[in-house]
Structure 1
Amino acid sequence: MKVGVRRSLADIQADYDRGNKTELETLMRAWKGIKELDPEDPRSFFILGGYHGEPFRGPGETDPTWWGGYCQHGTVLFPTWHRAYLHSLEKALQSIPGCESVMLPFWDECSEDSRSNGIPHALTDEFFELDGVKIDNPLRSFKLPVSIVDNVKGDNALYSKPAGYETVRYPLSGLVGTPADQAATAAHNAKFPDYAENVKILNGNIVNWLTSTITIDGHVMGEVYSKFVACLNAPNYTLFSNTTSQGAWNDAHPKKPVRSLESPHNSMHLAVGGFDVPGQGDMSPIPGANGDMGENDTAGLDPIFFFHHCFIDYTFWIWQRRHGATTSFTIDSNDPGAVYGANNPPPAGGDPDAPITMETPLNPFKMREGGVYTSNDCIDIESQLGYTYGPGSLDSYAHAAATPSDALLLTTLAEEERTLHVAGVDRSKIRGSFLITAYAEVDGERRLLGREAVLSRWHVEGCANCQTHLKSSADFRLPAEAAEQGNVEVEIRTRQGELGGGPRMLRKSGIAAAALAEAPEPFTMEIR
């Protein structure tokens, strides 16, 4: 099997800027091609982008007890399902005449360039010159060729979008499902009429997310970058794969926390889709920003989704190489991330009674020889899927001998340190994605402990996958001096403001773990 190379988009962009234009031009031609295909064509971007969420299909098209999309989040299939997804999109790109050798690049989110400048400009430039003609940049957005109608009972057309709707990113809003949403979105977006200025605001937000720091044991480190590195230290595939498994392990092993790949993945979705980082830089929060990347339902319709997830898959491959798992890994069948609830059906096309295993179909992705891909078909990207990755920012961690530097501190607690455990966050009462942020007061100074981004839906009651994991949790490393003084704060920022009321945020403070554990809803806190 011929093995293609997925390169960093920034490297391809740099080649273009030096006059070597073919690779980026071919990529643009391929994306332009799949976006222009008939929306009924299985290779069209409308079909492929819609697999993640809307337009809904199957029982979930009308029944709120089913999730009408195919995406896997919060389960052990998160890395492998998205791997098969990227592979299908890449094959569609290669089907466009003249683009047979095109490969899907990755946005290297941990690179120095991303941390300094934000998103590669190939993903944000308004226009691109192709074959001597100035065209709309195929990578910056997607206009729906047909309308999407939300027929789910109880949704009140929440996810409906008209033909011609164009996906948006921070600081804009894309909620247009109801007359009230349309009015609010029009008023909000009118405040941001300058496209170039909006890109600057977006990139500023990305840089803030990537460079915001936490201090642990005297070490100052970028939090999102450190999460990506820390997840590479997860001891097995199950714990590496998803936040449900991560949360259950950390709840049972507070002195030996792990970090899953899905955790920093969520952060980048919210960074692009519409959450600013609290208290970072001189940028003011922008209430009302609801970009498509920030919600499961619409994320796959923004082309940047696939460049983001290509980096997630690159990180997955680095983890496999580091742990000698390039040809095999297993799923722990006893882990809560490996099951659906008996009364909570899985995503479209799934079996509500079957456990999640390496042979669970990764619907709807079909192999050339027939049958649906399973995780066992997506282990070795080189021999099974025909691609590998070019140089990236995490390459130095691909071997077990490599030490994840300061980021390892996120998963290594000293004897005198504790963990702040936040639990019981009921997703069914929160519309859309949200952000859990923890602080501690140490010697009169308010210190950031960390953030946990939760990628969610506007109508969780209609998502079988979400219903299975309705309660969200987060764990934050608590330095010894903070644990001793016991003054901690947690805020949960939602699309509608701070959870629990109050002028700006809900804060719960206390010293004794017992007192914290008894805190009433909407969430509990405990120092462990």
Structure 2
Amino acid sequence: MNTTPGNPPADQVVAAPTYMADIRFFFRPEDIDHMAAKGIELGTYDGVKKNALAVLAQTSPPNAQMPPDAAGKWSTERAQTFKNWILNGFPLGTATAGGPPPPSGAAPTRLRKDITALTDAEFELLKTAFNGLMARDTDAPDSYFALAGQHGLPQSWCLHHENRFNPWHRQYLLNFENALRSVPGCESVTLPYWDISTNLPDRLQHPPLDKYVLPADPGANATPQPVTGYFPYTTKRYQVATIAQNVRNFGVLDDIATSLTQSLWGTFNVNGYQDFSIQAHDGGHGSIGPTMGDQNVASYDPVFWFFHCNIDRLWLSWQTRVGGTTLTGFRSTLGADTDWLTSPFNALPPFTETADQTIESQVSYDRLELPPALESALENLSGSIDAAGTFAFRSANPVSVRVKGIDRLNIPGSFVVTLLSDGEPVAQRYFFQPKTPRKCPTCVENGIINLDFRMPQDQLVDRSLSVRIDVPGHSDEIGTAFPLAQAGNPTVNARLLAEDA
């Protein structure tokens, strides 16, 4: 069947349907809304599975009661496919990639390009817009200083390592882009992206995009108390070759590739697109330089905006691949946790917009990561699968090595977790956080975290594994190494990843 949202499935019986490839498209937005008003969830796998027998009874012809309108009535073939899904044990399955993008609500109104693809005139306009923001008084709410201060010091609003992470940054980029457009003559400018799989472009190595000299102390008005050490301050980056090496060392491109193959949105610290997307984001921050690696001031470096534009491009790429560019389609990739898309849990402070309003993006990109269908198989690999179903282990499947139970609140700033095999580093991950995480409400809510490594089996078998945590810039008598005992005595879990058989 393998249809796209908004298009009715072909009226043919599918012998082995799955939720992600077939069943989720049986429910129109109006069906989901109609039943939600009655307290019945039909927009997610968990909801449909829970109510499957009632759905079958109410929708099966010839005496179907639901949907109430004639146009929405199910055919005999569709009802049989749904029955087969129940009889087969409610298989979740995987989304089908490579199809045409599903229709969304309003058509995107802005096109963002690769920064290397801008014409000279477009690039000059971008520089004019940045210079205009940077020249504004620090007290102006649409100044560069004030806008950057929403993410880090002094406001520190950003929601990291949780469901609203991608929505928050999508809205933040849009607001910043609007501020760029408010500079006289720059009404048509859009933020370009830097594809981090390529070297830092030369265009980002010259004024005004190479650095930013803070015109005021960002920590002076921080709450609940002032923060020192950031004035005077000029943003700093590593050399181009060092950035590229860090991107490789921190597994940024590996995590991006893994994120784009996930069928499910998932949960940070568990699995799915979100988990690997956030790891790639953190690794990118740590790769670029000491400023980008410090959550207190990362957004003051101009490269922040182009880096995050790429993160948003990757999210839109994934949404397109799994049929999640509409709110209904996106919700179908979630499990039981959908509260963060509804009030009051959908707030994106300090913005008035909410998380659910960001799902249908106002922006398009000149290029999405949409490889041909035969090269873009999606997956739903997991360390545990419902025993009621069937599962398989493949020899080609990687091993999930999870450093579990890290108490991030004891660690003074962003840190690096290194996995060692026979004493030699084989993989690293960077975790991005403020220098004083106990003062960050979002950090406290997610104080115990895990970091995931997907490793080929032959890199681990018959070898001794160990873990090290380092805090870049840590300057006490122990150097950068951070004692594992003070990090909560994390454990190491290694699991073969299973899939639906």
TM-score for the superposition, normalised by structure 1: 0.63
Q: Point out where structure 1 has 5 or more consecutive residues left out of the alignment.
A: 16-20, 57-68, 126-136, 171-201, 214-222, 240-244, 251-256, 274-290, 339-354, 366-371, 509-517
Q: Residues 478 and 410 of structure 1: is their aligned pair in 2 closer, same or farther, counting only changes over 3 Å?
A: farther
Alignment of 1:483-502 (within 5 A): 483-495=460-472
1:79 corresponds in structure 2 to 166
Deviations 1:66-94 (A, max 9, x none): xxx21011111111110000000011111
Corresponding letter in the other structure for 2:438: E
| Residue number in structure 1 paired with 2:493 | 526
- Conservation of the 8 A alpha-carbon contact between 2:271 and 2:382: no
**1:26–1:102 contact (8 Å) kept in structure 2:** yes
2:27 is matched with none
Indicate whether 1:380 and 2:347 are aligned: no
* Count of equivalent residues: 375
Q: Is residue 250 of structure 2 the alignment partner of residue 169 of structure 1?
A: no
Please name the residue that 1:235 is paired with. 263
Q: Cα offset for 1:447?
A: 6.4
* Cα distance in 1 between the residues matched to 2:476 and 2:454: 22
Residue deviations 1:109-159, cap 9 Å, x none? Answer: 12xxx2xxx21111112xxxxxxxxxxx1111222232233466897x544
Per-residue CA deviations over 1:286-333 (Å, capped at 9, x if unaligned) read: xxxxx2211221111111111000000000110011011111212857
CA positional deviation for 1:417: 6.1
Structure 2: gaps spanning 5 or more residues:
1-106, 384-391, 496-501
CA distance, structure 1, for counterparts of residue 417 and residue 242 of structure 2: 17
Residue 144 to residue 410, structure 1, CA distance change in 2 (3 Å): farther
Residue 499 of structure 1: CA displacement?
A: 12
Task: Please say which of residues 411-420 and 82-91 is displaced more in the overlay.
Answer: 411-420
Residues 418 and 3 of structure 1: CA distance in aligned 2, closer, same or farther (over 3 Å): closer
Flag the 1:425–1:142 CA change in 2: closer, same or farther, 3 A. Answer: same
**In angstroms, what is the RMSD of aligned CA positions?**
3.5
* Partner of residue 280, structure 2: 264
Name the residue aligned to 1:92: 179
Q: Secondary structure at the match of 2:159?
A: coil
- For residue 54 of structure 1, report the CA deviation from its aligned partner: 0.8
Where 1:247 maps in the other structure, the secondary structure is coil
Q: What is aligned with 2:111?
A: 5
- CA gap of 1:422–1:96, structure 2 versus 1, over 3 A, is same
How far apart, in 2, do the equivalents of 1:92 and 1:519 lie?
Answer: 43
Could you say which residue in structure 2 is the equivalent of 1:295? 294
Distance 1:294 1:519, change over 3 A: closer
Structure 1 position 31 matched with structure 2 position 130: yes
Distance in structure 1 (CA, Å) of the matches to 2:127 and 2:222: 35
Q: 1:205 to 1:470 in 2, by over 3 A?
A: same
Contact 2:415 2:469 in 1 (8 A): yes
The answer to whether structure 1 residue 363 and structure 2 residue 433 are counterparts is no
Q: Are the equivalent residues in 1 in contact too, given 2:417–2:430 (CA < 8 A)?
A: yes
The offset of 1:491, in angstroms, is 1.6
Query: 1:379: Cα distance to partner?
Result: 1.7
User: Shift of residue 224 of structure 1?
Assistant: 2.1
Give the letter for the 2:409 counterpart: S
Deviation, structure 1 residue 490: 1.5
1:498, 1:438 → 2: CA distance? 23
Structure 1 CA distance for aligned equivalents of residues 356 and 223 of structure 2: 36
Structure 1 SS opposite 2:190: coil
Counting only pairs closer than 5 Å after superposition, residues 461-500 of structure 1 correspond to structure 2 as 461-495=438-472
Matched, 1:210 2:232: no
Post-superposition offset of 1:524: 2.0
TM-score, normalised with respect to structure 2 = 0.67
SS of residue in 1 equivalent to 2:295: coil
In the TM superposition, what is the alpha-carbon distance from 1:451 to its structure 2 partner? 2.0
Q: Against the structure 1 CA distance between its residues 496 and 42, is the aligned structure 2 distance closer, same or farther, given a 3 Å change threshold?
A: closer
CA contact (8 A) 2:154 2:222 kept: no
Alpha-carbon distance in 2 for matches of 1:417, 1:53: 36
In 2, Cα distance between the equivalents of 1:434 and 1:79? 21
1:247 matched to 2:269? The reply is: yes
Matches within 5 A, 1:423-442: 423-441=404-422
C-alpha offsets along residues 239-269 of structure 1, whole Å, 9 cap, x if unaligned? 2xxxxx242349xxxxxx9852111111110
> Contact (CA 8 Å) 1:434, 1:492: kept in 2 or not?
yes
Cα distance, 1:358–1:246 mapped onto 2, change above 3 Å: same
Offset of 1:493 from its aligned partner?
A: 1.4
The alpha carbon displacement at 1:231 in A equals 0.2
Contact 2:249 2:428 in 1 (8 A): no
Is 2:194 the partner of 1:107?
A: yes
- Secondary structure of the structure 1 residue equivalent to 2:349: strand
Identity of aligned residues (%): 27
In structure 2, the partner of 1:65 is: none
CA contact (8 A) 1:295 1:455 kept: yes
Q: Give the letter for the 2:299 counterpart.
A: G
2:113·2:192 contact (CA, 8 Å) conserved in 1? yes
Tell me the residue number matched to 2:303: 304
Change (3 A) 1:224 1:48: same
